[in-house]
Homo-oligomer: A and B are copies of this chain.
Amino acid sequence: MLSRNDIKLIKSLEHKKFRQENNLFVAEGPKLVGELLGKFSCPMVFATNQWMEDNKAIPARRIETVTPDELKRASLLKTPQDVIALFEIPRTETSIESAARDNLVLALDDVQDPGNLGTIIRIADWFGIKDIFCSRGTADVYNPKAVQATMGAIARVRLHYTDLAKEISGLPTGIPVYGTFLDGETIYDTELTQNGVIVMGNEGNGISAETEKAVTRRIFIPNWPAGAETSESLNVAIATAITCSEFRRRSF
């Protein structure tokens, strides 16, 4: 059964304030919930009989069978999908320095669209990037739309919200900090390391002036043919994909 308070709690988690107060986020659908169960601590699962039959030994503290009608009342999706689960927002204490010493990490400087954020997390997952550091102005990954857009990739990629410019500025010189700029070196020709930080900027404004100061390697994705008239820029998720692919290509 799903109480009125359960529904109220689920709906409240659309808002960042209540996610932070309760330290919880929502995920829906058999595929996504299946990926997250066991990876995040799960206080509650609400699911139809059908889902219950398909899933045994569920690692959740409270498990409720509900009717499709009850599910519909609680769901944040247009088309509810058999299961709603609440998960605890994990605490993370990794520093950029320790994460970027031996692997590539992404740093998001006010990426604002939850859809872009979700897509970037899938890209990180594909290219073996385990940690993403976000400025406090970046979209909240635990926003239900962002969670759904990751399609489960948040089970394998850790997100850290931090004072990004400050953390990056404090890095020792041995850790390269890459950022894309129009005056950067063509990414295809330049030396790329398999560790360090790749900074991606805001959709409209790019990388902030403060973070830019900490960038030690300015790179650029050139359009083709060089100098032809084209769009002003690439979408941030698209630029992230091309950049990560080019970094990893070097070590195949």
Interface residues of A (CB under 8 A from B): 119, 122-123, 125-128, 151-153, 156, 186, 188-189, 221-226, 228-232, 234-235, 237-238, 241-242, 245-246, 248-249, 251-252
Q: Which residues of B contact A241 (CB under 8 A)?
A: 234, 238, 241-242
Copies in the complex: 2
Inter-chain contacts of A156 with B (CB < 8 A): 229-230
Is A231 touching B122 in the complex (CB atoms < 8 A)? yes
Given contacts A122-B234, A237-B238, A241-B241, 17 further A-B contacts (CB under 8 A): A119-B235, A122-B238, A125-B231, A126-B230, A126-B234, A127-B223, A128-B223, A128-B224, A128-B228, A153-B230, A188-B252, A222-B252, A234-B241, A241-B242, A242-B245, A245-B245, A245-B246
Query: What are 26 sample pairs from A and B whose C-beta atoms fall under 8 A apart?
Result: A119-B235, A122-B235, A122-B238, A123-B238, A126-B223, A126-B231, A127-B223, A128-B223, A128-B225, A128-B228, A128-B230, A152-B231, A153-B231, A156-B230, A186-B252, A188-B249, A189-B252, A224-B248, A224-B251, A234-B241, A237-B238, A238-B238, A238-B241, A241-B241, A241-B242, A246-B249
A125-B223 Cα distance, complex, nearest whole Å: 9
A234 to B153, CA, bound (A): 11
Which 8 pairs, one residue from A and one from B, show the smallest C-beta to C-beta distance?
A224-B248, A128-B224, A242-B245, A238-B241, A188-B249, A126-B223, A125-B231, A127-B224
Report the minimal beta-carbon distance from A174 to chain B, rounded to whole angstroms.
23
Are A252 and B231 touching (Cβ within 8 A)? Answer: no
B224, A252: Cβ atoms closer than 8 Å: yes
Q: Is the CB of B230 within 8 A of A123?
A: no
Q: A125 CA to B233 CA in the complex, in Å?
A: 10
Bound form: Cα–Cα A237–B127 in Å: 16
Contacts of A226 in B (CB 8 A): 252
The complex places the Cα of A1 from the Cα of B54 at a distance, in Å, of: 62
Instruction: Report yes or no: A245 in contact with B231, Cβ–Cβ below 8 A.
Output: no
Chain B residues, CB < 8 A from A152 = 231
A34 CB to closest chain B CB, in angstroms?
12
User: A241 to chain B: closest CB distance in Å?
Assistant: 5
List chain B residues, Cβ under 8 A from A221. 245
Taking the closest CB of chain B, its distance from the CB of A189, in whole angstroms, is: 7
